[in-house]
A and B are shown apart, each in its own frame.
Chain A
């Protein structure tokens, strides 16, 4: 049984097709990356999975049941747009939201206490929501998403605005929930996070799926066509239009995408000839970032 099965779903708003004939299958226990440029239809898709919106066509199943107000309680949701009741106490807001997901208030109170402790917010329990910093509010909202131990967790940009310590705290909790059997849908524009965390992805553009499947398999299908180089010296040696299709500078690191059939050895030769000191020379699969850009610009072409 899939955690999520989306079958040929379409959703229109007036004349705009937000989602067209989208099909998604998310395995139970997976971390699934839902990717796409702004306005691609990600939020609409997620809202349909959560039964906030109903599809015009197609069907959605959540853990084997048709999406309904009953399946809502199986899902935890961290929306991209953050916000909680500004004038309520942190504890009260979280207990209220947990109770809405089906917990008894006694149980909710207990768990809120535990979670606040764990995320270092225990001292803020009786403070008003708007006394909290942005990062703290985001942690509080994350608690609201996970407090009922949902079998399905939907996180929209969970790490934005968090410092590295808090980001790693949230990441650890996500992995822990996954160990316990939860399925996680991660929607983000940060491709390095997707590469590190996701098992499978779906890339949506203009409401349609343009790339879907196992992340390793997808990357493998592109082959090791990229050279990652770290060096000191003049970078003119990479001016090799016959070999290099595209260059990506990251300051200390350069990624060079090779033309089909080009021999990476030629780049090495050029570097040595120019007296550039290499500290790293590695043949890799294309970064997801490039695949993303390629797929999205393909559609625009």
Chain B
């Protein structure tokens, strides 16, 4: 046991102190803070900028309604749009257009909205600007023009109304998630939580599985494994390695979890301070989901890490790694790309069967738990199958590892691998 502990400690300390680990672990939260800061900074910078717009109304009389529709306010409370000039039925459309274009080129104007004569028959209005990519302005203008046109059409038919935009606004529908214990309003958090959990599990299994494999190969290529094997039982060496890498992953998630929580709280308060009324979506992670995710992760990490370690023991150098790791990585990739099947119908027969397969269970069963908690017996069965498979695979992997670490040269064929399993 003492020797396993020494192996864990070495594996953990050398990794945690490596530049790569520090960079990703500290760098990611810092990068997120940077992105948050920049985006908040940009949001506040927009307060200075009032869009200067002119209206060229060839129909006549539509400008007041459009102007009324452009009621957007900047975060500092000032109006978002300044109507510089309204040109109602100019003598020459062409001349007016040219003049306005000149003003845009001279930067006295951000843009002008041209309302065609036959707009009521369905011809679209045109917004002339240097920056047609500003989709927020486009959306606001489009909304204002639509409302003005609807209002005019109604007026022409003798319907007199004050605030048309309120009248024609759609309401949409909201989703309410029904669970065993009650119901909660759904604003996409199920989807986000589901995807987030799946992503984290998938990425973690691949990243730390491959890290375990590389560690095995490193000891093999440097030949230190011969000295290690003369001091430690191969099974202890393998166990220590897998647990050491797992501890590194745990540390990384702890750092990210804490900084993520702080960052969300900080970001929310910053956003609330700068943009009144704004709030981040409330992503509630139920404790039961986290517990199940941890449980499935633990079992499947042992499953995948031991397979990756066995693969590492089969090769003699880094070059061969890409090839041999493909089948194992592919199993994870497949479980990841199957998530839409679960998303669409988490309780269908296909979903139930897929989430029972031990190699897919860490991703797919946890996803099912996240979006629609399945019956307990299904969770238990899936976990049991995972445990049994893991126990078997770890045995096989350990045997391959024990023989493989001392073998150099040609990669073993399947028949040779089977013979390795029989070596004492």
A75 within 8 A of B: yes
A145 to B38 alpha-carbon distance, docked (Å): 56
The answer to whether B416 and A14 touch across the interface, beta carbons within 8 angstroms, is yes
A85 to B7 alpha-carbon distance, docked (Å): 13
The answer to whether B232 and A100 touch across the interface, beta carbons within 8 angstroms, is yes
B406 within 8 A of A: yes
Majority secondary structure, A binding face: loop
| Residue of A whose beta carbon sits closest to that of B233 | A69
A72 within 8 A of B: yes
**A87-B14, A88-B14 known; A100-B231 Cβ under 8 A:** yes
The answer to whether A52 and B6 touch across the interface, beta carbons within 8 angstroms, is no
Interface centre among A50, A85, A100 (most CB of B within 10 A): A100
A238 shortest CB reach to chain B, Å = 45
The answer to whether B10 and A54 touch across the interface, beta carbons within 8 angstroms, is no
Looking at A24-32, A76-84, A194-202, the stretch in contact with chain B turns out to be A76-84
The answer to whether B222 and A144 touch across the interface, beta carbons within 8 angstroms, is no
**A52-B230, A52-B406, A100-B3 known; A81-B10 Cβ under 8 A:** no
| Residue of B whose beta carbon sits closest to that of A73 | B231
Residues in B with CB closer than 8 Å to A91 are: none
B7 shortest CB reach to chain A, Å = 8
B226 within 8 A of A: yes
The answer to whether B227 and A85 touch across the interface, beta carbons within 8 angstroms, is no
A96 within 8 A of B: yes
Residues facing A in B1-44 (CB within 8 A) are 3, 6-7, 10, 14, 18
Residues in B with CB closer than 8 Å to A144 are: 227
The answer to whether A97 and B14 touch across the interface, beta carbons within 8 angstroms, is no
A42 within 8 A of B: no
A81 to B405 alpha-carbon distance, docked (Å): 13
Residues in A with CB closer than 8 Å to B224 are: 83-85
Partner of A79, one of B18, B218, B227: B227
Partner of A52, one of B223, B229, B416, B424: B229
Residues in A with CB closer than 8 Å to B218 are: 85-86
A248 to B228 alpha-carbon distance, docked (Å): 43
B153 within 8 A of A: no
Residues in A with CB closer than 8 Å to B226 are: 52, 77, 79, 81
A84 to B14 alpha-carbon distance, docked (Å): 14
A76 shortest CB reach to chain B, Å = 9
A99 within 8 A of B: yes
Contact with A along B231-249 (1 / 0, CB 8 A): 1110000000000000000
A47 within 8 A of B: yes
The answer to whether B424 and A100 touch across the interface, beta carbons within 8 angstroms, is no
Contact with A along B209-231 (1 / 0, CB 8 A): 00000000011011110111111
A208 within 8 A of B: no
A139 within 8 A of B: no
| Residue of B whose beta carbon sits closest to that of A89 | B14
Partner of B223, one of A54, A77, A79: A79
A100 to B228 alpha-carbon distance, docked (Å): 8
Contact with B along A37-73 (1 / 0, CB 8 A): 0000000000100111110100000000000010011
B108 within 8 A of A: no
A72 to B233 alpha-carbon distance, docked (Å): 10
The answer to whether A75 and B223 touch across the interface, beta carbons within 8 angstroms, is no
Residues in B with CB closer than 8 Å to A206 are: none
The answer to whether A97 and B231 touch across the interface, beta carbons within 8 angstroms, is yes
B105 within 8 A of A: no
B419 within 8 A of A: yes
Residues in B with CB closer than 8 Å to A83 are: 221-224
A83 to B222 alpha-carbon distance, docked (Å): 5
A11 shortest CB reach to chain B, Å = 10
Residues in B with CB closer than 8 Å to A56 are: 424
Partner of A85, one of B6, B222, B230: B222
The answer to whether A77 and B14 touch across the interface, beta carbons within 8 angstroms, is no
A85 to B228 alpha-carbon distance, docked (Å): 11
B127 shortest CB reach to chain A, Å = 60
**A56-B424, A100-B6 known; A77-B230 Cβ under 8 A:** yes
B19 shortest CB reach to chain A, Å = 10
A101 within 8 A of B: yes
Partner of B6, one of A54, A87, A96: A96
| Residue of A whose beta carbon sits closest to that of B236 | A69
Residues in B with CB closer than 8 Å to A72 are: 230-231
A86 to B318 alpha-carbon distance, docked (Å): 15
Residues facing B in A78-119 (CB within 8 A) are 79, 81-88, 92, 96-97, 99-101
A56 to B224 alpha-carbon distance, docked (Å): 25
A4 to B272 alpha-carbon distance, docked (Å): 77
A41 to B419 alpha-carbon distance, docked (Å): 20
Interface centre among B10, B221, B226 (most CB of A within 10 A): B226
B227 shortest CB reach to chain A, Å = 6
The answer to whether A14 and B419 touch across the interface, beta carbons within 8 angstroms, is yes
The answer to whether A47 and B228 touch across the interface, beta carbons within 8 angstroms, is no
Residues in A with CB closer than 8 Å to B419 are: 14
B400 shortest CB reach to chain A, Å = 15
The answer to whether B6 and A99 touch across the interface, beta carbons within 8 angstroms, is yes
The answer to whether A75 and B230 touch across the interface, beta carbons within 8 angstroms, is yes
The answer to whether B406 and A47 touch across the interface, beta carbons within 8 angstroms, is yes
**A47-B406, A100-B6 known; A84-B230 Cβ under 8 A:** no
The answer to whether B231 and A101 touch across the interface, beta carbons within 8 angstroms, is yes
B240 shortest CB reach to chain A, Å = 10
B138 shortest CB reach to chain A, Å = 55
| Residue of A whose beta carbon sits closest to that of B232 | A100
A88 to B9 alpha-carbon distance, docked (Å): 13
A84 to B225 alpha-carbon distance, docked (Å): 9
Residues in B with CB closer than 8 Å to A47 are: 406
The answer to whether A97 and B227 touch across the interface, beta carbons within 8 angstroms, is yes
Contact with A along B123-136 (1 / 0, CB 8 A): 00000000000000
Residues in A with CB closer than 8 Å to B14 are: 85, 87-88, 92
The answer to whether B223 and A81 touch across the interface, beta carbons within 8 angstroms, is yes
Q: Enumerate 7 A-B pairs (CB-CB under 8 Å) in ascending A order.
A: A14-B416, A51-B230, A82-B223, A83-B223, A84-B224, A87-B14, A101-B231
Given contacts A50-B230, A51-B230, A97-B227, 12 further A-B contacts (CB under 8 A): A54-B424, A79-B226, A83-B224, A85-B219, A85-B222, A86-B222, A87-B14, A96-B6, A99-B6, A100-B3, A141-B227, A144-B227
Using a CB–CB distance below 8 Å, which chain B residues touch chain A?
Answer: 3, 6-7, 10, 14, 18, 218-219, 221-224, 226-233, 406, 416, 419, 424
A-B complex: 10 closest residue pairs judged by Cβ atoms: A83-B223, A83-B222, A81-B223, A100-B231, A79-B226, A77-B230, A50-B230, A52-B229, A54-B424, A83-B224
